[in-house]
Structure 1
Amino acid sequence: MTLQEQTQTADDTTSEQQSDKRVRILRATETLIVRYGLEFPMSRIARESGIAVGSIYNYFPSKSALVLGVYQHLASQINAAFVATDDAGSDDPKAMVMAYIHSYIEFFWADADRAILFEYLTNLPMIETPEVAEVFKPLRDYNRAIFTFAQEQGVLKSFAPRSMAGFVGGGIRNALKWHRATQNHLSDEQKDNIAQMSWASIAA
């Protein structure tokens, strides 16, 4: 191996280690937020992640920056789960909206802690709204596009697409929360019932 290759390998290893530490810090913070809200010190994150407090500040200079990092980490999962399901070849507006609704149900049912984290963060005044809006922009642009298309095809009510998407999302999360409070299993039939109720609330 040449010196240049050795240097590149070392650089790649360092980059991977830094990325791993950052993810560990974020996951530890997410776990603590689900358990305690924001009522925990940075030293608790250090214990949970196995990373020294001083090192945490190298990645996140403040608690606000860390919370924004958690937003961004969660948003990247949400954007990947929903936006990546876009079927560019589909011209069936109902199918597109229903695929989005089913993806939403699957995503928030799959991980109870993630659902709690999302609800907590979206009600948190610690981060400025423009910053939060920016991290969710891919999802917002995607659902606005499919809801607008469905309206143009006459299959959805003529309300603001953003409001409809928010209404559907909130309704799904609330339905799943109450179901999870009494049952650990959600059958395909129950998922479909939630999806059909969501569709019925916005269909023209």
Structure 2
Amino acid sequence: MDIVLDKRERILAAAARLIVRNGLQCSMAAIAEEANVATGSLYNYFDSKEALVLGVYTRVTELMTERLVTPPDPASGGEEPIRRYIENYIDFIWEDADRAVLFDYLDNNPLITLSDARTIFGAFVEHGIAMIETAQAAGLVRAGPATMITSFVRGSIRNTLKRRRMTETTLSAADRQLVADMCWAAIAA
């Protein structure tokens, strides 16, 4: 494995863990210690704490894109890709509790501007919007701003699973399907 990439990934993983544990108050020195690198090494990869936090969210977006963004399939109806997206998003959020907490911090993160968020999450968000608009054009999804509908679905999933994690350590197949069905029912035309 490339040592540079390995060190950068260790730094990002350490920063993510500390943000989850301590919020944004974590220091660069604490992140370096958690990553088992010298504090000065952090600055070889990220010129500021803001850049490091952006790096953490950029990495999460890369993972989301790999898992959730699929090329359009004209043969499948507009409902199937959205249902698959919903189910994959449920799995993506459920499988890593720390990653889910990072999204909570994103909403209240003063280090990430709206412009930064658009840059980081833009392609992912645009994919969701395009799916909704295609389904709306086919009469499958209710009318309304596609941005609001996709945000509703993702937010509903994150909040539902957040509450679920407080009381349960597993998500049964039946409960997973219930969440997916509720999301679809909320947006279906």
TM-score by length of 1: 0.89
Tell me the amino acid that sits aligned with residue 60 of structure 1: F
Q: Please list every run of 5 or more consecutive structure 2 residues that lacks an aligned counterpart in the other structure.
A: none
User: Structure 1 95/146 Cα, relative in aligned 2: closer, same or farther at 3 Å?
Assistant: same
Question: How far apart in 2 are the matches of 1:188 and 1:162?
Answer: 28
1:187 to 169, 172, 188: 172
The residue number in structure 2 matching 1:67 is 53
Q: Which contiguous aligned blocks of 4+ residues in structure 1 show a shift greater than 6 angstroms? A: none
Please state how far the C-alpha of 1:87 moved relative to its aligned partner.
5.3
Any conservation in 2 of the 1:109–1:176 contact (CA below 8 Å)?
yes
In structure 2, the partner of 1:6 is none
Structure 2 CA distance, aligned partners of 1:74 and 1:54? 24
Pairs aligned (count): 189
| Structure 1 match to 2:36 | 50
Please say if residues 90 and 96 of structure 1, whose CA atoms lie closer than 8 Å, have aligned partners that are also in contact.
no
Structure 2 match to 1:161 = 146
| 1:3-42 aligned within 5 A | 16-42=2-28
AA matched with 2:4: Q
Q: Let me know the Cα RMSD of the aligned residues.
A: 1.3
For 1:165-180, what aligned pairs fall within 5 Å after superposition? 165-180=150-165
Stretches of structure 1 that go unaligned for 5 or more consecutive residues are 1-12
Kept after mapping to 2: 8 A contact 1:79/1:136: no
Q: Measure how far apart 1:58 and its partner are.
A: 1.1
2:63 is aligned with what amino acid?
Q
Deviations 1:83-103 (A, max 9, x none): 0x4452543111111011101
Percent identity over the alignment is 41
Q: Distance in 2 between matches of 1:17 and 1:50?
A: 13
